[in-house]
Amino acid sequence: MALTPTSKIQAVNIMLASIGEAPVSSLDDATLADVSIAESILDETNVEIQSRGLHCNTEINFPITPNTDGEIDLPVNCVSVDTTGQSLQTDVVQRGTRLYDRGQRSFTTFTGTLFVTMVLLLEFTDLPQHVRRYITVKSARRFQNRILGSQTLSGFTQADENEALLYFEQIEAQTQDYNVLNDNFTTRKIVNRGVLRRALR
């Protein structure tokens, strides 16, 4: 059998194994309450980890445009948005699935393209393996604690989670291509001011 990244059913079965339950062949056919709880915890943890903003789910300097009413609709899976680059001086926040102009106190003042950094929630199977692994192990520890609450088992799964977290952080650091100009907050603001000045000339 070919080796593939962790699927959602595999993640749930890993969680079930942490409390000594037998694996299931399908989430749709599962009738056990433990399966539903495991899937719910997996989804909860998935949203939590992705909401931090990972290399795989963050769109940088992404152009968005208003509709005919002057409103900007955000993707339904957007959990974080902020202006960047030449749009940095426009103060916006996400409210529901729309962008709100804090400076103008309005949803309808947008007249042109804005450039933003957006964090988008992805399906579990769209994530790279290091993220899937960390979410799975963290979910297994939470699942085991909530179902059994065993301190002994919790100790083993905490060690697994620490190992998965270390690998997760290593891969994130490798793939994010950090550099002194873009990843230092003070330096980035200076660079962005220069971009803005050039755009206004």
Q: 30: closest CA among 16, 46, 42, 43?
A: 16
- pLDDT of residue 145 exceeding 60, the answer is yes
A 10 A CB-CB count for 158 gives 15
Which segment of 50-59, 123-132, 153-162 scores lowest on mean pLDDT?
Answer: 153-162
Q: Tell me: the pLDDT tens digits for 151-172?
A: 777 777 888 899 999 999 999 9
Cα 189 vs. chain centroid, distance in angstroms? 24
Q: 128: closest CA among 167, 90, 159, 177?
A: 167
Pair 190, 88: CB distance under 8 Å: no
Q: Tell me: the pLDDT tens digits for 61-114?
A: 999 999 999 999 999 999 999 999 999 999 999 999 999 999 999 999 999 999
Q: For residues 52 and 127, give the distance between their C-alpha atoms in angstroms, rounded to a whole number.
A: 14
End-to-end CA distance of the chain: 60
Q: For residues 73 and 80, give the distance between their C-alpha atoms in angstroms, rounded to a whole number.
A: 13
Confidence band for 193, pLDDT divided at 50, 70 and 90: low
Q: 168: closest CA among 52, 20, 27, 19?
A: 52
Q: For residues 131 and 56, give the distance between their C-alpha atoms in angstroms, rounded to a whole number.
A: 9
The confidence score (pLDDT) of residue 156 equals: 72
- The mean predicted confidence, pLDDT, of the chain is 87
- Continuous segment of H or E residues that includes residue 186: helix 185-200
